């Protein structure tokens, strides 16, 4: 599949590129990023290069993983990244620390789940490690229902599948109950 550009009121979701390498590398130094995601540690510029030059284009070409860079309209600065993994049927996302607290990720998630529904994928899964209330807040705001606590479907770099909060969003069931989100997921 060819990469697709998506737009929302404030954002453009397009492809990560060479000009993003320094920001990706800088943002991925933050310990919380390594803790909650499966990033290489230490995260080097070569890791960003592999991600941009190989991982992302291969994911689109194989229809295996669709990744978008998150930017504001008219501003090439990278805010973060969002991806849909076909095998897990889920969404993964991050924002650089400088760009949190503006609702950008919720807007990006809403845009991607709408596009997925329009293109034949109405059901999208989500998970985060227990305690990642920022990720849970984004999922809750964008219509994911909490489905429970269980091992993560994502296998971490040490082979572990730590306890995770799981959710699902079904575009065909907009009135589905939102589930019993854990107290700890409200911040
Ligand atoms: C998960 C992550 C992307 C969430 O970032 P975020 O900035 O909290 O999410 P959003 O961009 O949707 O912003 C939501 C915040 O902006 C606020 N906000 C400000 N202006 C807003 C607007 N116009 N519209 C909506 N929300 C707005 C919201 O109130 C909310 O803040 P609050 O939770 O304190 O109430 C971020 O914490 C992150 O990158 N974490 C590290 C990586 C990670 O854990 N990824 C997920 C792995 S599962």
Cβ(178)–Cβ(137) below 8 Å? no
Domains assigned to the chain? 6-185 (3.40.630.30)
Q: Please give the distance, rounded to the nearest whole angstrom, from the Cα atom of residue 3 to the centre of ligand 1.
A: 25
DSSP state of 64: S
> What does the pLDDT average to over 137-142?
98
- Does the C-beta of 105 come closer than 6 Å to ligand 1? yes
Q: Mean pLDDT over residues 163-171, rounded? A: 98
Phi, psi of 159 (to 5 degrees): 85, 0
Taking the C-alpha atoms of residue 28 and residue 37, their distance in angstroms, rounded to an integer, is 10
Best residue for ligand 1 mutational test, from 137, 162, 165 (most atoms within 8 Å of Cβ)? 137
Residue 138 pLDDT class (50, 70, 90 cuts)? very high
Specify the pLDDT at position 36.
97
- Most ligand 1 atoms within 8 A of CB, residue of 39, 105, 181, 187 to mutate: 105
**Among 138, 156, 167, which is best to mutate for testing ligand 1, by the most ligand atoms less than 8 A from CB?**
138
- Give the residue among 185, 97, 118 at the shortest CA–CA distance from 148: 185
| Model pLDDT, residue 182 | 97
**Order of strands, sheet of 65-72, starting from the edge strand that comes earlier in the sequence:** 6-7, 11-14, 65-72, 80-85, 90-95, 123-129, 163-170, 145-151
Mean pLDDT of 3-10: 98
* Each residue's pLDDT tens digit, 72-128: 999 999 999 999 999 999 999 999 999 999 999 999 999 999 999 999 999 999 999
Residues contacting residue 42 through CB under 8 Å, at least 6 positions apart: 29
Q: What is the residue with the minimal CA distance to atom 42 of ligand 1?
A: 94
* C-alpha span between 185 and 126 (Å, rounded): 14
> Quick one: pLDDT at residue 96?
98
What pLDDT is recorded for position 55? 98
Does the C-beta of 128 come closer than 6 Å to ligand 1? Answer: yes
Mean pLDDT, all residues of the chain:
97
**CB hemisphere CA count around 64 (13 angstroms):** 7
With residue 127 as reference, give the H or E element that holds it: strand 123-129
What pLDDT, on the 0 to 100 scale, is given for residue 187? Answer: 76
């Amino acid at each position: 599949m060819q990469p697709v550009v998506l737009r929302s009121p404030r954002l453009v979701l397009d492809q990560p590129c060479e000009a993003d390498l320094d920001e990706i590398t800088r943002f991925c130094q933050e310990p919380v990023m390594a803790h909650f995601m499966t990033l290489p540690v230490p995260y080097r510029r070569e890791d960003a290069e592999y991600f941009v030059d190989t991982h992302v284009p291969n994911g689109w070409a194989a229809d295996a993983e669709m990744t978008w860079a998150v930017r504001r309209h008219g501003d090439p600065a990278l805010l973060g990244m969002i991806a849909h993994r076909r095998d897990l049927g889920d969404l993964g996302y991050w924002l650089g620390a400088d760009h949190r607290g503006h609702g950008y990720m919720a807007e990006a998630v809403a845009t991607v789940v709408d596009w997925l529904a329009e293109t034949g994928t109405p059901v999208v899964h989500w998970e985060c490690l227990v305690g990642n209330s920022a990720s849970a807040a984004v999922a809750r705001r964008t219509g994911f229902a909490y489905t429970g606590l269980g091992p993560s479907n994502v296998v971490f770099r040490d082979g572990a599948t730590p306890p995770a909060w799981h959710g699902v969003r079904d575009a065909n069931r907009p009135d589905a109950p939102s589930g019993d989100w854990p107290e700890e997921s409200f911040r």
